[in-house]
Amino acid sequence: MVTRTRCPWCGKLFTKGEAAQVYCSHSCAATHRHSNREPIATMAAGELANGENPRYRQDEHGQWWYYGSTQRTRARIKNCVICERPFLWTAFHHNDTCSQSCGQKSFHGKHKGEFLGSNSWRWKGGRQVRRGYVFIHQPTHPSCQGNKRAYVAEHRLVMEAQLGRYLESRETVHHKNGVRDDNRPENLELWGKSHPPGQRVNEQKHCPTCTCWDTK
């Protein structure tokens, strides 16, 4: 038997498909039920970290909603796990932070150290060349403690191996032939203070095959 009844929300007359059907559509059922609920997110926009987001709108009852491309979703209020500021949260919000900035801090806090050294996408084998000098990845070196630096100049490491001790901060290493990446022990010389760039006159060569100043 076909039964026609009136929708309690929109007043439209419709044919019941099932005995338990009350509303003419899912839209009317959801809207009517939501209208009878107590608001669960009633704070003003200025009090919320993301209250100015145009996708979030507040209805006449004070309830906040997130408006997607085709539907809206009820929003709740949570406190950010980083800054503790209240923000609007929905089922589509997959983390407990109020912003991208706080999200990055939360991510790096959970994965601290996981993307350093050989795990980094920028890893090049632990060897870099800067300004002509070679640097080696040595995060446990005393000169790297207390700062973010993890690389030490190779010529300093070679000199330390020759001396059997760590160099002091005031000590520098001179390249005799002026080639900054030539870190052979016989080409390095320890200085007790900062030294000027270049070579001594008797260390310079007139051409690549010159032997005028070679010492025997």
Environment class of residue 127 by beta-carbon count within 10 Å: exposed (0-12), middle (13-18) or buried (19+)?
A: exposed
> Closest by alpha carbon to 78, among 67, 68, 64?
64
Residue appearing with tokens 């016989």: 186
- Give the tokens for residue 77: 């209020």
- Whether the pTM exceeds 0.75: the reply is no
> Closest by alpha carbon to 87, among 52, 50, 118, 37?
50
> Closest by alpha carbon to 3, among 13, 16, 21?
16
- Whole-number Cα distances in Å, 57 to 43, 45, 60, 61, 69: 12, 9, 10, 11, 14
Model confidence pLDDT, tens digit, residues 166-187: 999 899 999 988 899 999 999 9
Whether 130 and 153 have beta carbons less than 8 Å apart is answered as no
Reduced to 3 states (helix: H, G, I; strand: E, B; else coil), residue 195 is coil
Q: Is 73 left (phi over 0), alpha (psi -120 to 50) or beta?
A: beta
- What does the alpha-carbon distance between residue 158 and residue 183 come to, in Å, rounded to a whole number? 7
Quote the DSSP letter at residue 119.
G
pLDDT tens track, the chain, 216 positions = 677 889 988 889 988 877 778 888 888 887 787 777 766 777 888 899 998 999 999 988 788 999 988 888 889 999 999 999 999 999 877 789 999 999 999 988 888 777 777 777 777 788 999 999 999 999 899 998 877 788 999 999 999 999 999 999 899 999 988 899 999 999 999 998 776 666 665 666 656 666 665 554
- Give the tokens for residue 167: 């160099």
